[in-house]
Amino acid sequence: MEDVIKTGADVPYDTETVERLLAPLEGSISSGGAISDWKKLYLGFDLGTTNSVLVALNEDGEPVAAEMESSGESVRDGVVVDYLAAISAMRKCLDRLQRRVGREIAGVGAAAYPPGISERTARVCANVVESLGFVCDGLYEEPTAASDALSMLEGAIVDVGGGTTGISILEGGRVVYSADEPTGGTHMTLVLAGARGISFDEAERMKRDIARHPELVPLLRPTLEKMATIVKVHLEKSGYYGKVPILTVGGGAALPGAEEILSAAVGLPVHICPHPLMVTPAGIAARLWKEKRAAEAG
């Protein structure tokens, strides 16, 4: 690994993979039918704090469809706190996927968990998958799954979730350092609610309205800068500051100008991945597909 990263416009992920995998999946959420035909499905179940996302790939690793449902209060800081509600949210995704593909879904599933939690807590994510009638053939750390969706083996993945900002450093596709701290999309919503004197739900709808993003960024700058501080502190603490590229995933920082704000506060280039909501669920399904294909070939 180089001692100092380049500061040019190069992005630390494979753009071809992003456009082949993530872009079609994000587009499929608002469209009907399947993107690709399939004989067998590989399903990635992502139990996020804000959204539960289900991604389906076919036997060739090609995207078939994606579905998304609000997680409600079922997941807090990436951890399932209401088991039945988490199953219900994923069931809705699964039912819509079933209607879209037009025939009974047969396949295998996998899930992911945030770094730093216990094995028992992580296992709850697998239990959700199995409660929906699928064998959970993979249970991965979220940054490891994200690296598969991006073909990224070296770097710092910053996951801006609903409740926390997590940073994971990868070497050779393996997590060598991870940390997770409060401050995420939910905190942005609370800031907007307080600044505008509106309810949390109204502020959440405002935050999700892309047309209003330019007017909201000045209000959210302090929260973005706090996220950047988290990143900088942990890069320095781990000894990787200036030695790895930095990539942000998750929907929390997908705002116009956020890349510049984060980069200025960290003091290094920070890249925001396109289609950030699809990174982890697509990565879960992609890693599952790779592992199953390797086992079949071996």
| Class of residue 11 by CB neighbours under 10 A (exposed 0-12, middle 13-18, buried 19+) | middle
CA 125, CA 183: separation in Å to the nearest integer? Answer: 22
pLDDT 10s digits, 28-73? 987 878 999 999 999 999 998 888 999 999 999 999 999 999 887 7
* Average pLDDT for 256-285: 92
Record the pTM.
0.88
Average pLDDT in the chain? 88
Q: What is the pLDDT of residue 53?
A: 94
Distance in angstroms (rounded) separating the CA atoms of residues 244 and 31:
37
The full set of domains in the chain, from first to last, is 15-297 (3.30.420.40)
Task: Please compute the mean of the pLDDT values over residues 11-16 and round it to a whole number.
Answer: 82
Mean pLDDT to the nearest integer, 117-126: 89
Q: pLDDT band for position 7 (50/70/90)?
A: very low
Q: What is the pLDDT of residues 160-185, one digit of tens each?
A: 887 788 899 999 888 899 888 888 88
Q: How confident is the model at residue 23 (pLDDT cuts 50, 70, 90)?
A: very high
Mean pLDDT of 224-236: 93
Confidence at residue 9, expressed as pLDDT on a 0 to 100 scale: 47
pLDDT above 80 (res 209) = yes
| Dihedrals phi, psi of 259, to nearest 5 degrees | -60, -45
pLDDT value at residue 80? 86
Residue from 172, 142, 138, 173 nearest 250 by CA: 142
pLDDT at 126: 93
pLDDT at residue 1, as a whole number: 41
